[in-house]
Amino acid sequence: MATASLTIDLDAIAANWRALDRLSAPTVQTAAVVKADGYGLGAARVVRALARAGARRFFVATAEEGAAVRQALGPGPQINILSGHMSGDTEMISDLDLTPMLNSLEQITRHLEALPGHPFGVQLDTGMNRLGVEMLEWQAVAPILVETGPVMLMSHLACADEPDHPLNRQQLAAFHEMTDGTGLPRSLAATGGILLGPEYHFDLTRPGVGLYGGRPFEMAERVVTLSLPVIQTREVAPGEAVGYAAAWEAEAPSLIATLAAGYADGLLRSLSGKAMLWDGDTPCPVVGRVSMDMITVDVTHLPEVPRTLDILCAHQTLDDLADVAGTIGYEILTSLGARYDRRYQEARG
Ligand SMILES: *Cc1c(COP(=O)(O)O)cnc(C)c1O
């Protein structure tokens, strides 16, 4: 078979959610961020596993993603839309009971006019300058808006993965200034913010990447395993080159395995000549360029050519691979290709 298999451990995702939940006080609710199709792992399976673990509130980027999560979960859990109430989304928000996090005065007006009485939250900009109502605008509308009962006031930290970055405390102070005295539920922390400690937890935390086994949640259980099938092996003589641009040349007689996955499957081209694949405990270096559908690996030192080699495994986690590629675990996850045979592991169900 020429299809690589991506194994997704749903029990590990559930365990990571519980572990992140335990890092805040029992009075603090722990939501789950499942945008971008559950960080590329399949939102429907991920949210059902998280709901079984006890998650009751979910965050997605867009109303369309919210619709997919609602379909997977049915009525009940609260599904929050981080991009807020975009024009054209009113019917979906209303029919599927989605909760937009309103980001601007324009969105606030749109929501209150189109769906008066429909639940919403407000996203405040405390210094990231990406999304959210800014301080002066908020001061102007807060007296009226707080009366209409937003379900939550939230903001997002720009540097939470760097505990000593001064922006963390500045954003915390701005969030207090904007929300103290409102009496409304508040949320500031994603995975990184949870690890910054209780001051950052407020009423609700919103972990994403930590659920899927990524930094900065170093204690996370590993979630993904990616195994690539060997589709051919060949002997390469000294002086012969392998792959595009003849980027690698054999110095000694070598046995090269061609594996079925490439940059079209999210194995970034920047891994060329740098990454390792693993046969159990034995590393095997990638040689030459990663191409669209294939990757070439030196297996000269193996006693026997295996049927598959692993690129994400106990020896090489998401973040290890991200470091080699010069990116972050988030990008490795959300780049995982559509061609993989996705296998979900779950003890219960
Ligand atoms: C993506 C996102 C999160 C989750 O962040 P992680 O770093 O993956 O935990 C939380 N809140 C907002 C607003 C986000 O955009």
Q: What is the mean pLDDT of residues 50-61?
A: 98
Q: How confident is the model at residue 347 (pLDDT cuts 50, 70, 90)?
A: confident
| pLDDT above 60: residue 349 | no
Q: For residue 227, what are its two tokens?
A: 């195994």
CB atoms within 10 A of CB 43: 23
Q: What is the mean pLDDT of residues 169-190?
A: 98
Same domain membership, residue 193 and residue 282: no
Distance 192 CA to ligand 1 centre (A): 9
| % the chain with pLDDT above 90 | 99
Same domain membership, residue 198 and residue 81: yes
Please write the tens of the pLDDT for every residue from 16-35. Answer: 999 999 999 999 999 999 99
Q: Does residue 157 have its Cβ closer than 6 Å to ligand 1?
A: no
Same domain membership, residue 267 and residue 201: no
Q: What is the mean pLDDT of residues 180-198?
A: 98
4 close to 261: Cβ distance less than 8 angstroms: yes
* Residue 6 in domain: no
Distance 208 CA to ligand 1 centre (A): 6
Name beta bridge partners: 285: 276
Same domain membership, residue 173 and residue 97: yes
Q: Does residue 329 have its Cβ closer than 6 Å to ligand 1?
A: no
Share the mean pLDDT of the chain. Answer: 97
Same domain membership, residue 232 and residue 191: no
Determine if the pTM surpasses 0.85: yes
Which contiguous run of DSSP H or E holds residue 284?
strand 282-285
Q: Does residue 57 have its Cβ closer than 6 Å to ligand 1?
A: no
Residue nearest ligand 1's atom 13 by CA: 156
Same domain membership, residue 189 and residue 65: yes
Same domain membership, residue 161 and residue 94: yes
* Residue 228 in domain: yes
Q: Which atom belonging to ligand 1 lies closest to the Cα atom of 214?
A: 8
Q: Does residue 317 have its Cβ closer than 6 Å to ligand 1?
A: no
Please write the tens of the pLDDT for every residue from 244-276. Answer: 999 999 999 999 999 999 999 999 999 999 999
Please report the pLDDT score of residue 210 as a whole number: 98
Q: How confident is the model at residue 1 (pLDDT cuts 50, 70, 90)?
A: low
Ligand 1 pocket: which of 24, 50, 82 to mutate (most atoms within 8 A of CB): 82
* Residue 309 in domain: yes
Name beta bridge partners: 60: 81
Please write the tens of the pLDDT for every residue from 203-251. Answer: 999 999 999 999 999 999 999 999 999 999 999 999 999 999 999 999 9
Strand, helix or coil for residue 18: helix
Looking up residue 269, the CATH number of its domain turns out to be 2.40.37.10
| pLDDT above 60: residue 189 | yes
81 close to 152: Cβ distance less than 8 angstroms: no
Distance 190 CA to ligand 1 centre (A): 5
Residue nearest ligand 1's atom 6 by CA: 208
Residue nearest ligand 1's atom 11 by CA: 190
Same domain membership, residue 233 and residue 321: yes
Looking up residue 45, the CATH number of its domain turns out to be 3.20.20.10
Same domain membership, residue 253 and residue 147: no
Q: What is the mean pLDDT of residues 36-49?
A: 98
Q: Does residue 266 have its Cβ closer than 6 Å to ligand 1?
A: no
Domain count within the chain? 2
Please report the pLDDT score of residue 348 as a whole number: 57
Please report the pLDDT score of residue 245 as a whole number: 92
Question: Cα-flanking dihedrals φ and ψ of residue 324, to 5°?
Answer: -65, -40
Same domain membership, residue 189 and residue 87: yes
Active-site positions read 35, 244
* Residue 15 in domain: no
Q: Does residue 209 have its Cβ closer than 6 Å to ligand 1?
A: yes
Same domain membership, residue 204 and residue 73: yes
Q: How confident is the model at residue 72 (pLDDT cuts 50, 70, 90)?
A: very high
Q: Does residue 82 have its Cβ closer than 6 Å to ligand 1?
A: yes
Same domain membership, residue 158 and residue 112: yes
Query: CA 321, CA 115: separation in Å to the nearest integer?
Result: 45
Q: Which atom belonging to ligand 1 lies closest to the Cα atom of 61?
A: 15
Q: How far is CA 40 from CA 20, 45, 192, 219, 240, in A?
A: 20, 11, 20, 21, 38
* Residue 7 in domain: no
Q: Does residue 23 have its Cβ closer than 6 Å to ligand 1?
A: no
Identify the domain containing residue 78 by its residue range: 31-212
Residue where one domain finishes, among candidates 146, 178, 212: 212
Burial of residue 180 (CB within 10 Å: 0-12, 13-18, 19+) is exposed
Please write the tens of the pLDDT for every residue from 110-147. Answer: 999 999 999 999 999 999 999 999 999 999 999 999 99
